[in-house]
Amino acid sequence: MTATAIRPGRVENDGEVKPRRGRKPVLTQRERRGLRLSRALVWPALAAAITITQIPFLVTIYYSFQQWNLLRPGDQKFVWFDNYATVLTNGAFLSSLLATVVIVGFSVLVSLVFGMVLALLLDRKFVGQGFARTLLITPFLMMPAAASLIWKWSMLDSNVGMVNWLFSLVGINPVAWNTDVPILTIIIVLTWQYTPFMMLILLAGLQSQPSDVLEAASVDGAGPIRTFFSMTLPHMRQYMELSILLGTILLLQVFDPIAIMTRGTGGTKTLSYLLYERAFVGLEIGEAAAYGVLTVILTIIVAMVALRSLFKIFKKEGMS
C-alpha cells in the first residue's frame, strides 16, 4: 500500500471521490449496495455460530434430563432432575471442584511468581536476549500431551527420570511422584507449561513502563528493590490481573497431564477429567450432561466475577 492511499479526499484511480475525514460519509448507490451485501454475507456466519455454539448446549440440557447409558439402548427415559440429584449428592462433584480450585489456583499463582521473575530478568539488556526469550517461551508452545509425556518419562520417572537422578546425587531417596504426591506432580507440569505465558504478558507490562519515571526514581535515590515495590509493582497490577484471569480460563480445562500421569487419583480429578470419565468410561450420557451443565454454570459465574473485577480496574486506570 502506498503512502498516498491514506490521504483523504483524493481522487481514486477509478474516478470516485472519497469523503473527507470528519464529514458524514455520503454513500453512492454502489457503495450502499456493497454494504448491504457485506452485511448479508455476515448472516450465514452468525447463523452458523449460533447453531454450533447454542444448539449443542440445548441438546446437552435435554440429555441431562435423560437416564441413558449408551450400552443399555432400551433403557432410555426422561427422569427430570434425577441426574442432577445424583451428581450433587454422590460427592464426586464437590471433591472434583476442590481439586480444580487447588490445582488451578496453585498452578496460576506459582507460574505468576516464576513468570514475574523471568520477565524481570528478560527485561534487561544482555547478549543473547532474543535466544533466551525463545527458549523460555518454548514450554508454552508445546502440545500439552507432549509436555505431560516428557515430564512423565524423562523428568519424573522413578527409574530413568532426571529429577530422581539429581536427587540421588545429593543423597535424597527417589520420590514416587505419581503415587505419593500426585497433586504436586500435576502442579509442577502445569507451572512449567504456563510460566512462559505469564512471562510474556508481564514482560509486555514491564516494557510499557515509562522510563522517565524510573529515571526520576533513581535520581531521587531509590534502590532497585524500592523502585520495584513502589513503582513497578503498582504499574504491573493490571498485567498481573490479566494474566491471572487468562491463566485461570486456560487452566480450568486442563486435561492432558491428568489423563496421562495420575488418571484422576489422589485428589487430581478436576472437573474436566470427571466429565470425561462419566461420558467415556461410564458411558452415562445423562449424568455426564448434568455435570457439563453444572460446569458451564459455574464457569460463567467465575468468569463474570473475574471480568467484573477486571473491568473495575480498567475503569479506575482510565479515570486516574
Partner 1 sequence: MTKSNLRGRRWLSLAAVVSAGVMLAGCSGAGGGAGGGGGDTVTLTLATVNNPQMKDMEQLKGKFEESHPDIKVKFIQMEENDLRDAVTKDVATKGGQYDIVTVGSYEVPIWGQNEWLTNLNDYTTKDADYDVDDILKPVRQALTVDDNLFAVPFYGESSFLMYNKQILADAGLEVPEHPTWQQVADMARQVNNDDHAGICLRGKPGWGELFAPLTTVVQTFGGNWFDEDWNATVDSPEFTKAVQFYTDLVKDAGESDPVSFGFTECLNLFSQGKAAFWYDATSAAGSLESEDLSEVAGNVGYVHAPTVETEESGWLWSWNLAIPETSKKKDAAWEFVSWATSKDYMKLVGEELGWSRVPPGSRASTYEIPEYKEAAGAFAGITKDVMLAVNPTQPGVNPQPWVGIQYVTIPEFQDLGNQVSQSIADVFAGRSSVEDALSDGQKLAEKAGEAQKE
Q: Name the nearest CA neighbour of 228 among 310, 133, 117, 130.
A: 117
- Judged by the rule CB under 8 A, the positions of this chain that interact with partner 1 are 1, 5, 13-14, 69-74, 152, 157-159, 174, 176-180, 182, 261-266, 269, 277, 280-284
Task: Give strand pairing partners of 284.
Answer: 69
Cα distance between residue 178 and residue 263, in whole Å: 9
C-beta closer to partner 1: residue 148 or 295: 148
Smallest gap from residue 72 Cβ to partner 1 (A): 6
> Which residue number, 162 or 176, has a Cβ lying nearer to partner 1?
176
> Closest distance between partner 1 and the C-beta of residue 74, in Å?
8
**Measured distance CA(195)–CA(110) in Å, rounded:** 8
As to burial, measured by CB atoms within 10 angstroms (0-12 exposed, 13-18 middle, 19+ buried), residue 101 is middle
Q: How far is the CB of 86 from partner 1 (least distance, A)?
A: 10
Nearer to partner 1, 140 or 276 (CB): 276
Q: Which is nearer to partner 1, 122 or 287 (CB)?
A: 287
CB of 266 to partner 1, least distance (A): 6
- Least Å distance between CB 92 and partner 1? 9
Output 218 or 265, the one with its CB closest to partner 1: 265
Cα-flanking dihedrals φ and ψ of residue 55, to 5°?
A: -60, -45
Shortest Cβ distance from residue 43 to partner 1 (Å)? Answer: 19
Looking at beta carbons only, is 73 or 128 nearer to partner 1? 73
Distance, in Å, from the CA atom of 107 to the CA atom of 114, rounded to the nearest integer, reads 11
Q: Alpha-carbon distance 34 to 249, whole Å?
A: 39
Contact (CB, 8 A) for 111 and 194:
yes
- φ, ψ at 72 (rounded to 5°): -120, 80
What distance, in Å, lies between the first and last C-alpha atoms of the chain?
39
